[in-house]
Amino acid sequence: MTVKVDHEARRSQLALVPYALGQAARVRAGVGAIAGNHVVLRVGPDGPYVLLAHLRAGTVRVGLGDVVTVGQQIGECGNSGNSTEPHVHVQATDSVRWDAAVGLPIVFRRSSGGEAWVPAESEIVDV
């Protein structure tokens, strides 16, 4: 994967203008330009898949084919790709065919073996 640099955070409406003008070019450039520095985790042999996007340049700590374990750091929060502020975009899907993938709910577990739940909208998850 080519490392994409982090953008400067855009904190004003005026600073968003160049970002907005570049939107169509990012879409034409494909998933990498939208997701920036990203990792896709395959949970099982046939999915589902978890995308972690907009990671900080140079912080991705896993590579193709690596097995990831619970608690392992994968990367750091960044501002790469189609992003105006530093954040990590997390999404679960049934496919990596992004134009046809169906989003799936993400279930959290409070602790090892603990209660599983789907957070409510705007709920802060502290596990």
pLDDT at 1: 55
Of the candidates 29, 122, 13, 14, the one whose C-alpha atom is nearest the C-alpha of residue 80 is: 29
Full-model pTM: 0.82
Domains of the chain: 16-117 (2.70.70.10)
Average confidence (pLDDT) per 10 residues, the chain, 127 residues: 71 78 84 90 95 95 93 93 90 94 88 80 80
pLDDT at 127: 61
Report the amino acid identity of residue 108: F
